[in-house]
Chain A
Amino acid sequence: MDKTWNNRAWFLVLPVLVLVAFSAVIPLMTVVNYSVQDTFGNNQFFWNGVDWYQELLASSRFWESMFRNLIFSAIILAIEVPLGIFIALNMPRRGWGVPTCLVLMALPLLVPWNVVGTIWQVFGRGDIGLLGYYVNALGVDYNYVQDPFDAWVTVIVMDVWHWTSLVVLLCYAGLVSIPDAFYQAAKIDGASRWAVFRYIQLPKMQRVLLIAVLLRFMDSFMIYTEPFVVTGGGPGNSTTFMSIDLVKMALGEFNLGQAAAMSLVYFLIILLLSWAFYTVMTNYDAER
Chain B
Amino acid sequence: MARIDVEHIRHSYLPNPSKDSDFALREVDHTFEDGGAYALLGPSGCGKTTLLNIISGLLKPSHGKLLFDGKDVTGLSTQERNIAQVFQFPVIYDTMTVYDNLAFPLRNRGVPADVVERRVRETLDMIDLADWARRKARGLTADQKQKISLGRGLVRSDVNAILFDEPLTVIDPHMKWVLRSQLKQLHRRFGYTMVYVTHDQTEALTFADQVVVMFDGGIVQIGTPAELFERPKHTFVGYFIGSPGMNFMPVAVDGRRAKLGDQIIELPGTPTSTERAMELGIRPEYVRVGREGMPVSVSKVEDVGRHKVVRARLEGRDVAAIVGEDEEIPAEPKLSFDPAGINIYAGSWRVEMGA
Chain A residues proximal to chain B, CB less than 8 Å: 179, 181-182, 184-185, 187-192, 195, 199-200, 203, 285-286, 288
Answer yes or no: B108 CB below 8 A from chain A CBs. Answer: yes
Residues of chain B within 8 A (CB-CB) of A179 are 89
Residues of chain A within 8 A (CB-CB) of B300 are none
Residue of A nearest to B97 (CB): A288
A217–chain B nearest beta-carbon distance, Å:
23
Of listed B57, B79, B88, residue having the most chain A CB within 10 A: B79
We find that the number of chain B residues with CB closer than 8 angstroms to chain A is 29
Residues of chain B within 8 A (CB-CB) of A288 are 97, 134-136
Q: Is the CB of B83 within 8 A of A192?
A: no
Q: Is the CB of A203 within 8 A of B108?
A: no
Q: Is the CB of A191 within 8 A of B84?
A: no
B85–chain A nearest beta-carbon distance, Å:
5
Residue of A nearest to B90 (CB): A181
B314–chain A nearest beta-carbon distance, Å:
47
Q: Which of B88, B96, B108, B134 contacts A181 (CB 8 A)?
A: B88
Can you identify 29 A-B contacts, CB atoms within 8 angstroms?
Answer: A181-B87, A181-B88, A181-B89, A181-B91, A182-B91, A184-B58, A184-B85, A184-B91, A185-B85, A185-B87, A185-B149, A185-B152, A187-B57, A188-B56, A188-B83, A188-B84, A188-B85, A188-B105, A189-B104, A189-B105, A189-B108, A190-B108, A191-B108, A195-B104, A199-B93, A203-B94, A285-B95, A288-B134, A288-B136
Return the 8 tightest CB-CB contacts between A and B, nearest first. A185-B91, A190-B108, A189-B105, A187-B78, A199-B93, A181-B87, A203-B95, A188-B85
Answer yes or no: B174 CB below 8 A from chain A CBs. Answer: no
Q: Would you give the 0/1 interface string for B244-271, flagging 1 where the beta carbon is closer than 8 Å to chain A?
A: 0000000000000000000000000000
Chain B residues proximal to chain A, CB less than 8 Å: 53, 56-58, 77-79, 83-85, 87-89, 91, 93-97, 104-105, 108-109, 134-136, 149, 152-153
Give the complex CA separation of A108 and B93 in angstroms.
Answer: 35
Q: Is the CB of B108 within 8 A of A192?
A: yes
Q: Is the CB of A189 within 8 A of B152?
A: yes
Q: Is the CB of A188 within 8 A of B78?
A: yes
Residues of chain A within 8 A (CB-CB) of B108 are 189-192, 195
Q: Is the CB of B134 within 8 A of A191?
A: no
Residues of chain A within 8 A (CB-CB) of B79 are 187, 190
Residue of A nearest to B165 (CB): A181
Residues of chain A within 8 A (CB-CB) of B88 are 181
Give the complex CA separation of A199 and B104 in angstroms.
Answer: 10
B45–chain A nearest beta-carbon distance, Å:
17
Also in contact, A200 and B84, with CB within 8 A (given A189-B108, A191-B108): no
Residues of chain B within 8 A (CB-CB) of A285 are 95, 136
A195–chain B nearest beta-carbon distance, Å:
7
A76–chain B nearest beta-carbon distance, Å:
27
Q: Is the CB of B95 within 8 A of A199?
A: yes
Residue of A nearest to B57 (CB): A187
Give the complex CA separation of A102 and B15 in angstroms.
Answer: 26
Give the complex CA separation of A182 and B94 in angstroms.
Answer: 11
A-B contact sample (18 more), CB < 8 A, given A185-B85, A188-B153, A190-B109: A179-B89, A181-B91, A185-B87, A187-B78, A188-B83, A188-B85, A188-B105, A189-B108, A190-B105, A192-B108, A195-B104, A199-B96, A199-B104, A203-B94, A285-B95, A286-B136, A288-B134, A288-B136
Give the complex CA separation of A2 and B145 in angstroms.
Answer: 43
Give the complex CA separation of A285 and B83 in angstroms.
Answer: 31
Residues of chain B within 8 A (CB-CB) of A190 are 79, 105, 108-109
Residues of chain B within 8 A (CB-CB) of A187 are 57-58, 77-79
Residue of B nearest to A202 (CB): B95
B127–chain A nearest beta-carbon distance, Å:
16
Residues of chain A within 8 A (CB-CB) of B105 are 188-190
Give the complex CA separation of A185 and B95 in angstroms.
Answer: 16
Give the complex CA separation of A285 and B96 in angstroms.
Answer: 9
Residue of B nearest to A188 (CB): B85
Of listed A192, A199, A285, A288, residue having the most chain B CB within 10 A: A199
A201–chain B nearest beta-carbon distance, Å:
11
